[in-house]
Amino acid sequence: MKKIFVLLLVTTQFVCAQEYEILFTKQVNNNDNIYSINQDGRIKQVTNHPRKDSSPMMSPDGGLMVFTSERKGWWKIWLMDLESEEFKQLTDASSAEYSPSWSPDGNQIVFVSSRNGGSEIFTMTKVGKAIKQISSGRNNTMPSWASNGRIYYSSQINGIYQIMSMKPDGSDQQQLSSGKGDKLMPQLSPDQGTMLYYGNFHGNMEIYKMDMSSGQVTRLTKNPLMDIRARWSPDGGLIVFERGNKRNDQQIYLMNADGSNLRALTRSGYNYTPSFAVKAD
C-alpha cells in the first residue's frame, strides 16, 4: 500500500488550507477493518482481516499506523508499516488494551490497559518495549500525547470524567476541568491554545472546545444523535468526529475549527474512530 498523502484545498472558509485523508474504522458484514477516506468521499481499504481492527492513528512521520485489534485475543495494540504492509503485535496482556496515541517524536505510544486492575494509562516504545504504568488510583482513559510534551486524558473524579494532564513519566498531574458533565478524549490543539473534547453537559454527547487561557467553553455541535471522538487536523483548521446512534448508523463528519462548514464524509453503515492522516515524506 502506498503512503497516504495530503493535497491542497481552497475553500470559502480557509485559503490554501490542507486537505487531509482520514483514517477510520468501517464495519462491513459484521467485520471491522481500517479504511481511509478523502474529503471527496473516495474510500480505500487499509487492513483486511477476519478479526476486528480499529482505532487507527498514523505516526507523525506518516510511515507507521498504530491500532487496536482482536487478531489474537481481546483488544490489543498492533503496529502496521504502511510501506511494507508488515504487522507487529505490541501488547499481549490478558486485559483489553486500547486508545493508542503517538508521542510528538513518534518514538513512544501511550495507551490504556487494565492489566494491573482498573483502567490506567501506560506508555511504551513504538516497538512495544519498556511498558510503564503512569497513572493510578482512578478510572483513567482516552489519553493523547500533545505537542507540548504533556499527556492529556480523562479521569473519573467523584463519578464524573474530568480533563487531566501529566508529564510522560506520570508526574505533575493537573486537573484542568471541573463541574458537571463528563469530559472525554481531550485533544490539545496544535497551537496549544484550545482543548477539544466531547461530553454530556447538555444531556447528550456533543463536541466542545475550551480556551486554555481563559477556561471559556464553546459548544461546537448540537444534534439529537451523539457527537463523539473528535480530533484536530495537524494544522488545527479542521475537526473530524463521528455522529450517530452507535452500532446502527454511525457516520464520519468534518467541520472547521469553529464548528462551521459541517459535512458528512460517510453516509451509511457503522463508521467510527476517525483520525487525520499526516503528510508523508
Span 201-229, average pLDDT: 97
- pLDDT confidence of residue 242: 98
Provide the pLDDT for residue 238: 97
Q: Per-residue pLDDT for 248 more than 80?
A: no
**76 CB neighbour count, 10 Å cutoff:** 23
pTM: 0.92
User: How confident is the model at residue 36, as a pLDDT?
Assistant: 97
Pairing of the two strands 97-102 and 87-89: unpaired
> In this prediction, what percent of the chain has a pLDDT beyond 70?
92
Q: Please tell me the CATH superfamily of domain 7-276, with its number.
A: TolB, C-terminal domain (2.120.10.30)
**pLDDT tens digits for range 107-147:** 999 999 999 989 999 999 999 999 999 999 879 999 999 99
Cβ-contact 127, 162 below 8 angstroms: no
